[in-house]
């Protein structure tokens, strides 16, 4: 990558409330952006609705938002992006994976359900590699804390950690946000 040019693929990692989303948004603030929102709306969860609203309010009005909570929508958006199209900002992969696990009813680690989860993760990883547009991915870094007490917590931590590591292999830049401070890993 030539000096001064932004990375073609960037992975921004961080813990809860680390500033990862705001930092990722800042990386592309001056660009034409399609924001791929992976969160699923839940009208019965007022706190979640407030969090989504805060993210929406922070985005520039010119950005387009694509609701990409459905795993196929995200993969298709990455695969069909063009080199001269808008930059894609995916926020975030932890909520995307939660939806994949929910859709597959995989929380009990049923082998067939886990194969379905693996297929979605494989499709996402391939789409990241195929994506012709500039791409910024946001994901939670969940491997720095204690071992979760629940089976589902351990499943999520393990699966997201593996997905993050897999995607980091194909990204030109990898950043970790700690207490709002970006650390360049690559």
Query: Cβ(159)–Cβ(31) under 8 Å?
Result: no
Say whether the peptide bond before residue 100 is cis (omega within 30 degrees of 0). Answer: no
pLDDT at 63 over 90: yes
- Note the pLDDT of residue 8: 95
Nearest-angstrom CA–CA distance, 156 and 106 = 10
Which two structure tokens, joined as six digits, stand for 93?
């992969």
pLDDT tens string 165-179: 999 999 999 999 999
Copy the structure tokens of residue 11. 């992975």
23 is catalytic: no
State the fold for domain 9-184. Answer: Rossmann fold (3.40.50)
Domain limits, the chain: 9-184
Please state the pTM of the whole predicted model.
0.92
pLDDT bucket at 17, cuts 50 / 70 / 90: confident
The chain-wide mean pLDDT, for the chain, equals 93
Annotated active-site residue in 23, 55, 84, 120: 55
Q: What's the average model confidence in pLDDT over 119-130?
A: 98
Which residues make Cβ contacts (< 8 Å) with residue 67, sequence separation at least 6?
Answer: 37, 73
Q: Closest by alpha carbon to 158, among 102, 109, 125?
A: 109
Cα–Cα distance, 154 to 161 (Å, whole number):
10
């Amino acid at each position: 990558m030539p000096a001064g040019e932004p990375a073609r693929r960037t992975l921004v990692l961080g813990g809860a409330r680390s500033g990862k989303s705001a930092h990722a948004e800042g990386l592309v603030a001056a660009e034409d952006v399609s924001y791929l929102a992976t969160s699923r709306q839940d009208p019965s969860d007022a706190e979640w609705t407030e969090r989504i609203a805060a993210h929406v309010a922070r985005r520039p009005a010119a950005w387009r938002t694509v609701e990409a909570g459905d795993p196929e929508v995200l993969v298709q958006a990455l695969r069909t992006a063009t080199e001269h199209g808008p930059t894609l900002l995916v926020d975030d992969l932890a909520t995307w994976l939660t939806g994949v696990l929910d859709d597959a009813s995989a929380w009990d680690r049923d082998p067939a359900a886990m194969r379905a989860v693996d297929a979605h993760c494989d499709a996402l990883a391939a789409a990241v590699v195929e994506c012709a547009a500039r791409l910024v991915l946001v994901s939670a870094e969940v491997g720095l804390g204690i071992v979760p007490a629940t089976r589902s917590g351990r499943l999520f931590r393990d699966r997201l950690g593996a997905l993050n590591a897999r995607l980091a292999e194909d990204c030109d830049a990898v950043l970790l946000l700690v207490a709002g401070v970006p650390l360049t890993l690559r």
